[in-house]
Amino acid sequence: MVSKIVWIGFAAALALAPLAASAQTTSAAAPAAANAVSIPNRATVRSGTHRTRERHRNTLNRQKARATAEHARQLRAAPNR
């Protein structure tokens, strides 16, 4: 069963290989332009609004408080002997 799945995946990879090769361009400037676009510029990337940052920070603080309270409950619990 597993070998059948492996063979199907291998056949799919062989069938799709020519499509991936034809999608590449031959000009030298195209890869450089694609890389420049794929790396986000810090000046153009929005870091989120005050509300989203505040909501995320509140969520982290709430999770930390719950974890601390759970740890304190485990410390106070009587050992199982």
Give the chain's radius of gyration (CA, Å): 26
Looking at the 3D structure of the chain, how many domains does it have? Answer: 1
Over residues 56-67, the pLDDT tens digits come to 999 999 999 999
Q: What is the pLDDT of residue 63?
A: 97
Statement: residue 11 has pLDDT above 70: yes
Q: What is the pLDDT of residue 60?
A: 97
The DSSP secondary structure of 10-66, one letter per residue, reads HHHHHHHHHHHHHHS---SHHHHHHHHHHS--TTTS----HHHHHHHHHHHHHHHHH
pTM of the model: 0.40
Distance between CA atoms of 70 and 76, rounded to whole angstroms? 10
User: Could you tell me if residue 42 is inside a domain?
Assistant: no
User: Could you tell me if residue 61 is inside a domain?
Assistant: yes
Over residues 22-54, the pLDDT tens digits come to 666 565 555 555 565 677 676 777 778 999 999
Q: What is the pLDDT of residue 17?
A: 72
Task: Give the range of the structural domain holding residue 81, as residue numbers without chain letter.
Answer: 48-81
Distance between CA atoms of 38 and 26, rounded to whole angstroms? 19
